[in-house]
Amino acid sequence: MPLEFHWVLPTEGDPPALDPQGRTRQLAHWMAVAQAAEHAGFNALLVPTGVQRPDAWLVAAALTRHTRRLRFIVALRPGLVLPAVAAQRAQTLHELSGERLLLSVLTGGDASEHHAYGDLINHDDRFVRAAEFLRVVRQVWKGRGACSGINHHGAHYRLQNGGLSRPLREPPTLYVGGASPASERIAAEQAQVSYGWAEAPALLQARVQRVAALAAGQGRSLHVGCRLHVVARATEAEAQREAGTMLRGAEIAPNLWPIARPAGIRNGVALVGSYAQVAQRIAEMQSLGVESFILSADAALDDALRFGEELLPLVGSRPAASKPAPAELRE
């Protein structure tokens, strides 16, 4: 699999310090970010989901009309919508975009969106349900075949004589977000990419091996992805100044820092350093077996362009081919 670099569209808007007027919460800005990401050579734009984020499907649908090559990773949390509906929605968006849809299924972790939207399932059941949700979605994509519909009777979902009337020709590549054992198991059974926040090299290496073993147990292979916030500038000192108060606590590994913002949102892990340093760290992660990088920055528009010029050329990324996804990602 060639390296993949994806960009994140923060639909909740850039941090208030950068955007006091909320302009970055508007469609015109999202269009600019999508076009910048396409221009910069990113493979796909991740449209996230979250308590205070708009519907990712519709934002992606609108943005596909303003881009040609850029793919879209639509993030979804099982539990808000029935799987048959999600499967149809994916078909419509995949086809209307010229097969540019990828899906990121968030399996557990953050409960806040589930609770805020009235999905009161407990933590452990969420994983069980996510696995069943994905199974149903993938089954529905296969369509009805010649005569009989799909029947499903599981712990969380039932379906009687269901399935798309027209099977999905080439289902979207599935990403599963989350680094818990349960997430990794779901990815190993059903998805093409398992991704989570970046970690120290030793932990990352362990993750790559664990995921490979889990997938092998299923007779499958699975790619590992890293979610990374990036603060890269010409010099490390400049990048550190730029990162400012977003970083708290100790450096996890060279140039890798935990993000702890006062408001608690947009936390995670950041690479902070010169372009050369950040490229070096990414190359190290790649040598450990990470193939897919989902990058974000505080100023999504400016940094998409900046990284396209300064960073991506250093990490050997070429603009994505027009094929929807690398062939190796297919089951």
Partner 1 sequence: MTLEFHWFIPSGGDSRELISTGPRGAARSYRAPGYDYLLQVARAAERAGFAGAMLPTTSASTEDSWTLAAALATDTERLQLLVSFVPGLELPASFARRVATLQQLAPGRLKLLMFSAGHSLEQRAQGDFLEHDERYERAGEFLQIARAVWRGGPVQHAGRHYLLNTPGLTVAACEAPPLYVGGASAAAERLAAAQADVRLLWGETPAMVRERIERLQRHGRRPGHALRVHVIARETEAEAWAQAERLLRAVPQSLIDAAQRQLANIDSVAQSRMLGLHRGTTVQDVRELEVSPNLWAGIGLVRGGAGTALVGSYAQVARRLEEYAALGIGSFILSGYPNLEEARVVGERVLPLVQAVSPADALQTA
**Which residues of the chain form contacts with partner 1 (CB under 8 A)?**
12, 26-27, 51-55, 57-59, 61-62, 64-66, 79-85, 88-89, 91-93, 95-96, 115-120, 136, 140, 144, 149, 157-166
Q: What is the DSSP string of 268-327?
A: EEEEEEEHHHHHHHHHHHHHHTEEEEEEE-SSHHHHHHHHHHHTGGGGT--PPPSSSS-G
- Residue 130 DSSP code: H
Can you give the C-alpha Rg of the chain in angstroms?
19
What is the smallest separation between the CB atom of 323 and partner 1, expressed in angstroms? 20
Q: Which two tokens stand for residue 227?
A: 């979610």
What is the smallest separation between the CB atom of 142 and partner 1, expressed in angstroms? 12
Residue 64 parent element (H or E): helix 56-64
What is the smallest separation between the CB atom of 177 and partner 1, expressed in angstroms? 18
What is the smallest separation between the CB atom of 76 and partner 1, expressed in angstroms? 10
What is the smallest separation between the CB atom of 148 and partner 1, expressed in angstroms? 12
- Among residues 17 and 28, whose Cβ is nearest to partner 1? 28
What is the smallest separation between the CB atom of 26 and partner 1, expressed in angstroms? 8
- Among residues 137 and 211, whose Cβ is nearest to partner 1? 137
- Among residues 85 and 213, whose Cβ is nearest to partner 1? 85
What is the smallest separation between the CB atom of 173 and partner 1, expressed in angstroms? 18
- Among residues 65 and 323, whose Cβ is nearest to partner 1? 65
- Among residues 149 and 319, whose Cβ is nearest to partner 1? 149
Calculate ∠ Cα 328-329-331, nearest 5°.
95
- Among residues 112 and 235, whose Cβ is nearest to partner 1? 112
Q: Which residue type sits at 147?
A: C
Distance CA 307, CA 329 (A): 25
Distance CA 13, CA 23 (A): 8
Which parts of 178-267 are beta strand (E)?
193-197, 223-233, 256-259
User: Residue 256: phi, psi to the nearest 5?
Assistant: -110, 120
User: Residue 147: phi, psi to the nearest 5?
Assistant: -135, -45
